[in-house]
Amino acid sequence: MKRIISLLLSLLMVLALFTACTPANNNGDANGEPDEVVEPGEEDADVIKIGVFEPLTGMNGGGGLQELGGIEYANKMYPEVLGKKIELVVVDNKSDKGEATTAVTRLIEKDKVVAIIGSYGSAVSIAAGDIIRDAQVPTVAPSATNPMVTQGNDFYFRACFLDPFQGEVMATYAIEQGAKTAAVIMQNGDDYSVGLANFFINAFKKLTGEEASIVDVSEFQLNEADFNAILTNIKAKNPDVIFAPSAATTAPLIIKQARDLGIESLIMGGDTWENPAVIDVAGEDAEGIVLSTFFDENDPATNEAVAFVEGYKAELAGKEPIIPAVAALGYDAYILVRDAIERAGSTDGVAIRDALKETKDFEGVTGIINFTEEGDADKNVAVIKSVQDGQFVFIDSVEVK
């Protein structure tokens, strides 16, 4: 008996090991098809491998899955390049900086991918940056907004706008709504949260011309659930708006506890908040929150966008009410990479990088894309959304010169 149980237990543990490595693909993959398993060393000449490096578990798991959905849909629409089939190799970086480097190394060393797409979450992207640069594997981040992702890295590109821009957009919006004071909550150690929070603080101070307009800045740590103490401090200062850029797992906790404490200020977040989990978990308390994001399905900017919205909407039917912006960006990142490989005419890292750099007026789902010197998509429009009746609704699109 003892032996059987210990055997069973060790079997379970081995199983658990695998769960850590194989991403929960069945969620992102619309067809529910299992990933193809390719043995190491087995080189298939008819296949071009593109690595996908996303958080599928951990604090950003929800967003990573959304982004992966867009990438996989793009792969379905454009399955080939240079006459060969494109194979996506998905790895989970678990929203963890340490895991991120391992995951990227695996893609490069073991799977020998020619290019990488990812990741949702700036911190993991920054952590993997050096490996990507040294291995000369061109990478496009769909939605990592922190400037440091592409700074000084010739091989890292991105399809979205940057946090200095996003921070300014949110500060501008808050002030337009009549806000004079703001409190900021950020996650200590998370590059995205700290970066965006500080850009917001600078923009808000500059726009109000008042150093004291930021009445409170609080930090919290990974896996924190209790925000009552921070929020009680904030309540005493009675700010007009609370800006709390954070993961979609944390957002509902902040929102709910704020409303439970009787805080009526406008609560705002960044692009990560556009996730159904925020509304699911926070329930009624999510009503009225404001966030900025990259894309609105009701306002397709290009022909590609029209086709994407129609096709992907059908794919998502019954699963998500709206197309998440990060899925649109994931789609764009994929077609950008594919286009670059096509134009480069080879799978050489440097050639693809050069082709990416030369991208000119590329028609993506989230608008016309050109890259700046730094490898950032040259975008100056953000979409502001709010939650009404349990849905994300479009309120405004903001253009900053």
Partner 1 sequence: MTSELLLQQLANGISLGSLYALLAIGYTMVYGILRLINFAHGDIFMMAAYFMVFSIVTFRLPWYIAIVVVIIVTIALGVLLEKTAYKPLRNAPRMSIMISAIGASFLLENLATYLFTGVPRGFPDIRILTTTVELGSLSLTVATLITPFVTLILLYVVLFITNKTKIGMAMRAVSKDFETAKLMGININQVISTTFVIGSALAAVGAILWGSRYPSVMPLMGVMPGLKCFIAAVLGGIGNATGAVLGGFILGMAEIMLITFLPSLTGYRDAMAFVILIVVLLVKPTGLLGEKVTDKV
Does position 261 interact with partner 1 (CB under 8 A)? The reply is yes
Q: How far is the CB of 323 from partner 1 (least distance, A)?
A: 17
Q: How far is the CB of 119 from partner 1 (least distance, A)?
A: 14
Does position 190 interact with partner 1 (CB under 8 A)? The reply is no
User: Could you tell me how many residues of this chain bind partner 1 (CB under 8 A)?
Assistant: 55
Does position 47 interact with partner 1 (CB under 8 A)? The reply is no
Q: How far is the CB of 248 from partner 1 (least distance, A)?
A: 8
Spatial contact of 350 and 342, defined as CB atoms under 8 Å apart: no
Q: How far apart are CA 338 and CA 141, in angstroms?
A: 14
Does position 321 interact with partner 1 (CB under 8 A)? The reply is no
Q: How far is the CB of 32 from partner 1 (least distance, A)?
A: 14
Spatial contact of 266 and 242, defined as CB atoms under 8 Å apart: yes
Q: How far is the CB of 213 from partner 1 (least distance, A)?
A: 17
Does position 61 interact with partner 1 (CB under 8 A)? The reply is yes
Which of 5, 37, 45, 317 binds partner 1 (CB under 8 A)? It is 5
Spatial contact of 378 and 388, defined as CB atoms under 8 Å apart: no
Which of 283, 321, 345, 390 binds partner 1 (CB under 8 A)? It is 283
Q: How far is the CB of 132 from partner 1 (least distance, A)?
A: 24
Q: How far apart are CA 286 and CA 253, in angstroms?
A: 10
Give whichever of 20 and 306 is closer to partner 1, judged by the CB atom. 20
Site for partner 1 in 198-257 (CB under 8 A): 216, 218-221, 223-226, 228-230, 232-233, 235-236, 248-250, 252-253, 256-257
Does position 318 interact with partner 1 (CB under 8 A)? The reply is no
Which of 52, 56, 132, 369 binds partner 1 (CB under 8 A)? It is 56
Does position 65 interact with partner 1 (CB under 8 A)? The reply is yes
Q: How far is the CB of 10 from partner 1 (least distance, A)?
A: 9
Spatial contact of 42 and 74, defined as CB atoms under 8 Å apart: no
Site for partner 1 in 79-138 (CB under 8 A): 94-95
Give whichever of 122 and 250 is closer to partner 1, judged by the CB atom. 250
Does position 260 interact with partner 1 (CB under 8 A)? The reply is yes
Give whichever of 168 and 274 is closer to partner 1, judged by the CB atom. 274
Give whichever of 167 and 252 is closer to partner 1, judged by the CB atom. 252
Of 86, 77, 78, the C-alpha closest to 310 is 77
Does position 19 interact with partner 1 (CB under 8 A)? The reply is yes
Q: How far is the CB of 279 from partner 1 (least distance, A)?
A: 9
Does position 16 interact with partner 1 (CB under 8 A)? The reply is yes
- SS3 letters across the chain: CHHHHHHHHHHHHHHHHHHHHCCCHHHHCCCCCCCCCCCCCCCCCCEEEEEEEECCCCCCHHHHHHHHHHHHHHHHHCCEECCEEEEEEEEECCCCHHHHHHHHHHHHHHCCCCEEECCCCHHHHHHHHHHHHHHCCCEEECCCCCHHHCCCCCCEEECCCCHHHHHHHHHHHHHHCCCCCEEEEEECCCHHHHHHHHHHHHHHHHHHCCHHHEEEEEEECCCCCCCHHHHHHHHHHCCCEEECCCCCCCHHHHHHHHHHCCCCCEEEECHHHCCHHHHHHHHHHHCCCEEEECCCCCCCCCHHHHHHHHHHHHHHCCCCCCCCHHHHHHHHHHHHHHHHHHHHCCCCHHHHHHHHHCCCCEEECCEEECECCCCEECCCEEEEEEEECCEEEEEEEEECC
Q: How far is the CB of 260 from partner 1 (least distance, A)?
A: 5
Q: How far is the CB of 354 from partner 1 (least distance, A)?
A: 37
Residues that bind partner 1 (CB under 8 A): 2, 5-6, 8-9, 12-13, 15-17, 19-20, 24, 27, 55-58, 61-62, 65, 94-95, 188, 216, 218-221, 223-226, 228-230, 232-233, 235-236, 248-250, 252-253, 256-257, 260-262, 277, 280-283
